[in-house]
Structure 1
Amino acid sequence: MKVILLEDVKSLGKKDDIVNVNDGYARNFVLPKKLGVEATSKNLNDLKLKKSNEAKLAKEQLEAAQAFAAEMAKDEVILSIKAGEGGRTFGSISTKEIAQGYKEQCGKEIDKKKIILPEALRSFGMFEIGVKLHPSVTGTLKVKVVEK
């Protein structure tokens, strides 16, 4: 019997896979526990429509992330930190401060967890910071650190 899986099943396959199982296994385990449905023509058509809708949504999200990355490349965030004698800084700039500064200065929000910062910014100057907007799109943001 052919079955469309509604959830990941360890010994059978992943969600939305079409698998062949024994009739007894399907009737006594897969179907009663709502782990899958029988692969009728209606259910196969529903699966096809669902996959095409998911592909369309994924494409739209990718395009939106690419557009946002293009906008972000033009923006610049200016942040300030205290300095002591000899141009040494007190403290550092973290991802939270970068996200907050971007929201205040540019009016757009980014998640602080998506900012790729190898280490906190502890010196003055211009830095290009990576921001993970989508699994395949990484934007760059210019951050200028100045003395308070």
Structure 2
Amino acid sequence: MKVILQETLEGVGDLGDLLDVSNGFARNYLLPRKKAVEANSRNIKEFEHAKRAAAEKAKKEKQDIEAHGKKISAVSLTIAAQVGKDDKMFGSVTAKDIADGLAEQGFTVDRRKIQLAQPIKELGTFAIAIKLPREVTATIAVHVVKKQEEQAEPEEAAPTA
């Protein structure tokens, strides 16, 4: 009996495969459990239509994600870090800091999707990759600069009477 698989079955086939299986296997296992449908002309046309619709939807979704990736790639992020003697940084810039900086500019990115091998521990400009769905990657420029220390103004003493 010819059947179209409705899901991937290990050792049998993948979703959408057109298989020729024994009548007993099809009637007693595949069809009652809705793991396959009989391969008649109507079911084949229906499945191919669903496959085309899914492919078009996936293509449109990927284009939307690529457009979003281009918007993110246009972002230049500046992070001010506290430095000490010889421009040695205190602490480091992590994926969380980058995600917070992107959130301030209106881009919501999961910090786990920011491809940062190790935290940034020096001043400079770095290209950081952000992994988006559907194998789309955006790259942003992160500038790590010195934090400008604000001069504390001496408070004027109120005259005591």
Letter in 1 for 2:69: A
TM-score by length of 2: 0.84
Over aligned residue pairs, what C-alpha RMSD do you find? 1.5
Match of residue 144 from structure 1: 143
1:85 Cα deviation (Å)?
A: 1.7
Secondary structure, in 3 states, of the residue corresponding to 2:10? Answer: coil
Match of residue 115 from structure 2: 116
Match of residue 33 from structure 1: 33
Match of residue 159 from structure 2: none
Q: Give the number of aligned pairs.
A: 147
Q: In 2, Cα distance between the equivalents of 1:111 and 1:39?
A: 43
Match of residue 87 from structure 1: 87
Q: In 2, Cα distance between the equivalents of 1:18 and 1:111?
A: 40
Letter in 2 for 1:39: A
1:112 Cα deviation (Å)?
A: 1.6
Letter in 2 for 1:44: I
Structure label with greater radius of gyration: 2
Match of residue 65 from structure 2: 65
TM-score by length of 1: 0.90
More helix by share: 1
Greater Cα shift, 78-87 or 14-23: 78-87
Q: In 2, Cα distance between the equivalents of 1:111 and 1:16?
A: 34
Q: In 2, Cα distance between the equivalents of 1:135 and 1:123?
A: 32
Match of residue 11 from structure 1: 11
1:11 Cα deviation (Å)?
A: 1.8
Structure 1 gap segments, 5+ residues each: none
Q: In 1, Cα distance between the equivalents of 2:42 and 2:96?
A: 49
- Superposition misfits of 4+ residues, deviation over 4 angstroms: none
